[in-house]
Amino acid sequence: MTLNSNFFAEKRDWSKLKDQILDHYLAPYLAKIKTTGRPTRIADCFAGKGRFDDGQPGSPLIIAQHVASILARNPALDVKAVFIEQKYATELRTNLATAANCRVIEGEYEQCVRRFLSEHVNRDRNYFFYMDPYGFKSLSFDYFARLKEVGFRSLEMLINLNSTGFLREGCRLLNLTCAVPDWADDLDFETDGKNHPARMNEVAGGDYWQAILADFQAGTLDFHQAEEKFIAGYTDRLVMHFKYVVNIPIKERSHHMPKYRLVFATDHHEGLFLMADDMHAAWRKLLEQERGGQLYLFSDEDLEALRGATIHDKVFAELQVPLHLRELLIRLIKKHGIAHTTGEYKKAIKEGEGDMFSVTRDPAKTPTGRPSLSMDHNKGRIIVSVIPQEPVLLQS
Ligand SMILES: C[S@@+](CC[C@H](N)C(=O)[O-])C[C@H]1O[C@@H](n2cnc3c(N)ncnc32)[C@H](O)[C@@H]1O
């Protein structure tokens, strides 16, 4: 197996963004998950060296730091991290030498998962899996499904999916002649010459990608549309196992389509809200830095298309019937992805309260007897509905 670049020489923008999302998610995740009172395990399945050669921390050090900080505040908590690494286990052990509750497993992810599933598995645990391989070939969909079938107390996955690399490889394997943009080559891509369409089916969770590429070949889809369709198909497969899936598309400067997707899957609405907000924040930060960086998420046109209607209109469109605030937020994120934060939606509802929207709170009063203005979707019942508007009469 060859790798075209020295991945760990310095931390590139894409890795910085992945790490930022992971870093921002873990603190609120651990704070929430500790309330379950159950053991929690974070598994970094393609862990790497722990530190880049330029000194910057990789995902293992970020995870270790979160484990250490929650343990410092709650020493009795059963929170541990496991790091699987095939090639750099020695460096990783050195870099994690002083990290509490962190274990390095030297070996192949696939073997580790098979072994894990074949042993007695303690289901009464929370698991967070971070999947960050170089390419996509190790990301067997079936393993995700089998892990999910175990029925852990909770299971969440953050998957780095090189969707463009996948489609490019698909074109090669299917001997398609249509031009795949050169830039779809990935510096980090592994080539072992042993790939075949059946293996690609295993990664994608089905053969739907072949029909998508046939449409690309026929000219009915451009590469951008093919990528969008592929990620929609992938999301559909994940949604068969997890209640909620959200992703952040990342482009490289000067190319107008996503190259990578960081895909998150969870069964818990709170996980969905946290991650969607986290991805949105990463997107905002990237937009601010965009002028100088190599990565970007959306062109101005994409941004307009993504944000589309006003936020009030988007909320309005979901309220065919009155909805619990939590359910409304879930629907909005499912439909509009990371275009807005949960805070922005709540602010829009509050701004429109009494005018566009009616908000009924139970309890209606605060403990001090004042009318409740709460927008806390976890406390009490908050039902949002549309206030019917008087028709404007032309003759009046
Ligand atoms: C993209 S790097 C991970 C970077 C890491 N997340 C970070 O932030 O520093 C992928 C790592 O997975 C390892 N790897 C590749 N295939 C593997 C496999 N099948 N099982 C375990 N580790 C693997 C590589 O040696 C490499 O260190």
Inside any domain, residue 110: yes
Q: What is the pLDDT of residue 254?
A: 46
Phi, psi (degrees; rounded to nearest 5) at 158: -120, 115
Mean pLDDT within 286-307:
58
Looking at 282, 306, 330, the residue that finishes a domain is 306
DSSP 209-241: HHHHHHHHHHTSS-HHHHHHHHHHHHHHHHHTT
Same domain, 192 and 331: no
Position with higher pLDDT, 92 vs 254? 92
Query: Residue 48 CA: which ligand 1 atom is closest?
Result: 27
- For 150-209, the DSSP string reads T--SEEEEEEEE-HHHHHHHHHHHTT--SPPPGGG--TT-EE-S---HHHHHHHHTSSHH
Residue range 321-335, pLDDT digits in tens: 999 999 999 999 999
Parent domain of 12 = 2-306
Lowest mean pLDDT among 131-135, 153-157, 192-196: 192-196
Same structural domain, 43 and 141: yes
Final residue of a domain: which of 276, 306, 336?
A: 306
Residue 132 has which token pair?
Answer: 């960050």
Q: From atom 4 of ligand 1, which residue's Cα is the shortest distance away?
A: 48
Tell how far the Cα of 268 is from the centroid of ligand 1, in angstroms.
Answer: 27
User: Do 112 and 252 reside in the same domain of the chain?
Assistant: yes
How high is the pLDDT of residue 125? 97
| Ligand 1, atom nearest to 52 Cα | 9
Q: Kindly indicate the confidence band of residue 187, based on its pLDDT and cuts at 50, 70 and 90.
A: very low
Is the distance from the beta carbon of residue 260 to the nearest atom of ligand 1 less than 6 Å? Answer: no
Ligand 1: which residue has its CA nearest to atom 27? 48
CA-atom Rg of the chain in angstroms: 23
Please give the tally of structural domains in the chain. Answer: 2
- Note the pTM of the prediction, 2 decimals: 0.91
Give the pLDDT score at 1: 42
Domain boundary among 286, 306, 326: 306
Q: Are residues 269 and 358 in the same domain?
A: no
Given this model, what pLDDT does residue 256 score? 55
> pLDDT band at residue 253, thresholds of 50, 70 and 90?
low
What pLDDT was estimated at residue 14? 77
Q: How far apart are CA 173 and CA 57, in angstroms?
A: 36
Q: Let me know if residue 391 belongs to a domain.
A: no
| Interacting residues of 395 by C-beta distance below 8 A, sequence separation 6+ | none
Q: What is the DSSP letter of 36?
A: G
Give the pLDDT confidence score for residue 371 in this predicted structure: 94
| Ligand 1 proximity of 95 Cβ (cutoff 6 Å) | no
Give the pLDDT confidence of 61-86 residue by residue, as tens digits.
999 999 999 999 999 999 999 999 99
29 Cβ below 6 A of ligand 1: no
- What's the 88 CA to ligand 1 centre distance in angstroms? 8
Distance 337 CA to ligand 1 centre (A): 28
Same domain assignment for residues 122 and 155: yes
Does pLDDT of 7 surpass 90?
Answer: no
How far is the centre of ligand 1, averaged over its atoms, from the C-alpha of 313 (Å)?
43
> Is 396 inside any structural domain?
no
String of DSSP letters for 79-95: EEEEEEESS-HHHHHHH
Q: What is the mean pLDDT of the chain?
A: 89
Could you tell me if residue 326 is inside a domain?
Answer: yes
CATH of the domain at 348: 1.10.10
Q: How many Å lie between the centroid of ligand 1 and the Cα of residue 319?
A: 44
| pLDDT value for 260 | 82
Q: Is 330 or 179 the better-scoring residue by pLDDT?
A: 330
Q: Is residue 130 part of a domain?
A: yes
Q: Same structural domain for residues 197 and 344?
A: no
What confidence score (pLDDT) does residue 126 get? 98
Please indicate, yes or no, whether residues 61 and 106 belong to a single structural domain of this protein. Answer: yes
Residue 208 and residue 338 in one domain: no
For ligand 1, whether the C-beta of 108 sits within 6 Å is yes
Q: What would the mean pLDDT of 253-268 be, rounded to a whole number?
A: 79
Please indicate whether residue 46, judged by its CB atom, sits closer than 6 Å to ligand 1: yes
Q: Are residues 273 and 336 in the same domain?
A: no
* pLDDT reported for residue 353: 95
Looking at residue 273, its pLDDT comes to 97
pLDDT at 307: 58
Is 172's pLDDT higher than 60? yes
CA distances from residue 385 to 249, 310, 341, 343, 360 in whole angstroms, order as listed: 32, 17, 20, 18, 8
Over range 342-353, report the average pLDDT: 96
Evaluate if residue 2 carries a pLDDT over 50.
Answer: no
Quick one: average pLDDT of 140-156?
A: 97
Confidence of residue 317 (pLDDT cuts 50, 70, 90): very high
Could you give the dihedral angle defined by the CA atoms of residues 15, 17, 23 and 24, in that order, rounded to the nearest 10 degrees? -170
Task: Tell me, yes or no, whether 173 and 242 share the same domain.
Answer: yes
Nearest Cα residue to 2 out of 277, 194, 244: 194
> Residue 117 falls within a domain, yes or no?
yes
Q: Which atom of ligand 1 is nearest to the CA of 138?
A: 19
**pLDDT score, position 389:** 74
- Distance of CA 162 from the midpoint of ligand 1 (Å): 14
Question: Which of 8, 46, 87, 194, when mutated, tests ligand 1's pocket best, judged by the most ligand atoms within 8 Å of its CB?
Answer: 46
Domain match, 74 and 223 both: yes
- Asked whether the predicted pLDDT for residue 171 surpasses 70, the reply is yes
Band of residue 193 on the pLDDT scale cut at 50, 70, 90: low
Q: Are residues 294 and 327 in the same domain?
A: no
**pLDDT tens sequence across 369-388:** 999 999 999 988 999 999 98
CA 379 to ligand 1 centroid distance, Å? 41
Ligand 1 centroid – CA 307 distance (Å) = 35
